[in-house]
Structure 1
Amino acid sequence: MSIFNIATPTLIVWMATLAALVSVAAIAAPFVFPAKGKSARFKQVTSKRRELSRQQLDGLTTKGSLLRQRQKSTKAEIMKKVLVALKLDQALSSKELKLHLSQAGYRYQNALVFFQFARFAAAIAGPFLAIFLIESQGPTATLPYALKLVGMGLGALGGFYLPKLLVVNQAQKRQKEINLGFADALDLIVICVEGGLSVENAFERVTEEIGEASPTLAQEFGLTSAELAYLGDRHKAYQNFADRTGLPAIKSLATTLIQSEKYGTPVGQALKVLSQERRQDRMAIAERKGASLPAKLTVPMIVFFLPPLFAVVIGPAAIQISHM
């Protein structure tokens, strides 16, 4: 039997030869032309890092026009001159306050100047506000001056510490939001690293995946990814990540990554151990909350449960006795 006057065995040999040649060509192509593929991948990674860094820097540096930036800069210069004139310029170099402001999300250039001026202005306005509140309560002619001075002092003290309390409260809110989404983000990092991605690419992937669920944590991962791309010291980028958040869990992540790069241990294995420890911590916290639940329910049960129970049990007997 033949097809187009070609014997069937010969046709089978030709088809097998052609299939073998195609297979060899497909396998050898990446080795014969490797430069172009690598160059394209390197360009893609570089452009992605630049785009991410630009987005993060744009989000941090401005939310308005250049005119607003200049107005803020002018206001900051005036405030700084006032603080320097009052010999309060040393407070502008406090690393601790800068760290607190960074953890609260206030990371623009003149955040510390605005914060210190707000404390100074609130401390001056506090006594006047206290006097106004005292006078608004009615005639205070017989009120001792010592009590008024105490009220003014408390107003000044409250005005001085109020901005710091607001910053601490904002930092705690951010830490709570970050802590809620960190466990899932850590699992995603483990999956990405075990899938063959580098730490920078894993952070970029996590930034994209958790952007809607936890915008604050996504911003922190995006900043860390940009710092890893542009800072010469990777350990500094990890340390900045821990300092910006102030959470022990992220500090453990930064320490794990630093030690993995320093001693050459597998990053995926170290992150897997850290993820397992994080799950155990979450389980311990849940068990602790469950164990404290009976004690918390004691007072509501006494107030809302026992009186109706006594009324239902003793009420009919008391009614019968009253009719006798």
Structure 2
Amino acid sequence: MISMLFAISSVVFFMLLFTAVFSTIFQRDIAIESRADVYFGKSEGVEKKTKKPSKGITQTLLRKFWTLSVARLGRMLEKKDHRKLELMIRESGYEKLSPIEFRLIQILASITGGFLALLLIGPNSDGGFSALILALAVSFLFYRYPIFYLAKKKAQRVKLINRELSDFFDMVSLLLEAGVGLEGAITDVCDRMKGPLSAEFKKTLDEMKRGKSRREAFYDMKKRVPSDSFRSVMTSIIQADHLGVGMSRVIMNLTTRLREQRREMAREQAMKAPVKMLIPMILFIFPPIFIVILGPMVVKVFMEGLG
């Protein structure tokens, strides 16, 4: 109970200290903004269109702290790490998040996790060194967790894209056979289907409307999506567009191949099922069966030995 009260009071103290420090640092900017609002007023119509209204000093301080931290961290981040993080974020689907903001989230999560672990474990531990080691371990886990989360989201996104591929291109093939153009067919299917694949094609269509050629837009989308099946399909479409082959026939053959691939994947998963079931059977099913069958015989032999 005392340790919990100590932890809560410490968190409240550091929050108040954080607010006081940053209100002191940005005191001049806050005073200028408040005086400008008093003397010149606010143009409500413009502010509603351009930005959200201010909700207080705390939000202003947090926004300024976030902007300042992103600017400082951007100078320290190397180009190699920047490209690697950008690729991970893009493949997981969080394109609005910049690599610098993601690295800042990692650092803040690491500091918060280590600090909370030190507060909760420190008063109950006998030695300070063991508590410090455990806090460092928790801090490292909190630092690595956002990367694990991105990898998980990437795997889920690839799985969804592979599941939607055959249905998506099947509908595109039907529209092409009905006489609709490729862009029109893709637009119609994207309006009917919702998911990561439709979002990627909508982004590609927007790039084509801004002046990018079909081949370049499809090639950029192929690099954006981390799915081998999708990249194989887009390579075939890009080659057919380059050679002038009819898209209807190409996409029809692609949908047939995608259906066969899904069938083979289903068979592969079905053949893996007995191997995956073996471990829970050995750990949870066989021991109770042995206890039920051999238990009475072991008890009988033990009783006869005592008699």
Any stretches of 5+ residues in structure 1 without a counterpart? 1-63
Q: Residues of 2 paired with 1:149 and 1:90: CA distance?
A: 30
User: For structure 1, which segment, 122-131 or 78-87, has the greater mean C-alpha deviation from structure 2 after superposition?
Assistant: 78-87
Provide the aligned length of Structure 1 versus Structure 2.
253
Q: Residues of 1 paired with 2:298 and 2:220: CA distance?
A: 71
Instruction: Please give the residue correspondences for 1:172-251 in structure 2 after superposition, counting only pairs within 5 Å.
Output: 172-211=155-194, 215-251=195-231
Post-superposition CA distance 1:137-161 (Å, at most 9, x none) = x242xx262x344334323322322
C-alpha change, 1:226 and 1:130, in structure 2 (3 Å) is same
SS at match of 1:94: helix
8 Å contact from structure 1 (residues 127, 153) kept in 2: yes
User: For structure 1, which segment, 155-164 or 200-209, has the greater mean C-alpha deviation from structure 2 after superposition?
Assistant: 155-164
User: For structure 1, which segment, 152-161 or 279-288, has the greater mean C-alpha deviation from structure 2 after superposition?
Assistant: 152-161
Q: Residues of 1 paired with 2:241 and 2:89: CA distance?
A: 30
Larger radius of gyration: 1
Q: Residues of 2 paired with 1:73 and 1:184: CA distance?
A: 47
Q: Residues of 2 paired with 1:275 and 1:98: CA distance?
A: 32
Aligned mate of 1:79, from 66, 69, 74 = 66
C-alpha change, 1:312 and 1:125, in structure 2 (3 Å) is closer
Q: Residues of 1 paired with 2:103 and 2:291: CA distance?
A: 60
Structure 1 residue 83: Cα displacement: 4.3
Post-superposition CA distance 1:112-170 (Å, at most 9, x none) = 3321221222233343233124225x242xx262x344334323322322222222222
SS at match of 2:78: helix
Could you say which residue in structure 2 is the equivalent of 1:7? none
Alignment RMSD, CA only? 3.6
Is residue 2:80 matched to residue 1:96?
no
Structure 1 residue 315: Cα displacement: 7.7
Structure 1 residue 260: Cα displacement: 1.1
Q: Residues of 1 paired with 2:63 and 2:244: CA distance?
A: 46
Could you say which residue in structure 1 is the equivalent of 2:95? 107
Structure 1 residue 185: Cα displacement: 0.6
Q: Residues of 2 paired with 1:93 and 1:310: CA distance?
A: 55
SS at match of 2:51: helix
Post-superposition CA distance 1:217-237 (Å, at most 9, x none) = 322222222223323222221
Letter in 2 for 1:275: T
Q: Residues of 1 paired with 2:261 and 2:213: CA distance?
A: 31
Is residue 2:51 matched to residue 1:67?
yes
Post-superposition CA distance 1:249-305 (Å, at most 9, x none) = 221222122111212222222222322222222122111111122222234444555
Could you say which residue in structure 2 is the equivalent of 1:296? 276
Structure 1 residue 80: Cα displacement: 4.8
Structure 1 residue 203: Cα displacement: 0.8
Could you say which residue in structure 2 is the equivalent of 1:285? 265
8 Å contact from structure 2 (residues 92, 150) kept in 1: yes
Q: Residues of 1 paired with 2:300 and 2:153: CA distance?
A: 60
Instruction: Please give the residue correspondences for 1:158-177 in structure 2 after superposition, counting only pairs within 5 Å.
Output: 158-177=141-160
Question: How many percent of aligned residue pairs carry the same amino acid?
Answer: 22
Letter in 2 for 1:81: L
Structure 1 residue 77: Cα displacement: 7.1
8 Å contact from structure 1 (residues 103, 171) kept in 2: yes
The alignment's TM-score, normalised by the length of structure 1, stands at: 0.64
Q: Residues of 2 paired with 1:185 and 1:93: CA distance?
A: 35
Post-superposition CA distance 1:159-194 (Å, at most 9, x none) = 322222222222222222222222211211222223
Q: Residues of 1 paired with 2:136 and 2:299: CA distance?
A: 60
Structure 1 residue 201: Cα displacement: 1.0
Instruction: Please give the residue correspondences for 1:141-152 in structure 2 after superposition, counting only pairs within 5 Å.
Output: 143=127, 145=129, 147-152=130-135
Structure 1 residue 75: Cα displacement: 6.8
C-alpha change, 1:121 and 1:65, in structure 2 (3 Å) is farther
SS at match of 1:107: coil
C-alpha change, 1:69 and 1:167, in structure 2 (3 Å) is farther
The alignment's TM-score, normalised by the length of structure 2, stands at: 0.67
Structure 1 residue 308: Cα displacement: 6.1
Could you say which residue in structure 1 is the equivalent of 2:237? 257
Q: Residues of 2 paired with 1:91 and 1:67: CA distance?
A: 31
8 Å contact from structure 1 (residues 206, 221) kept in 2: no
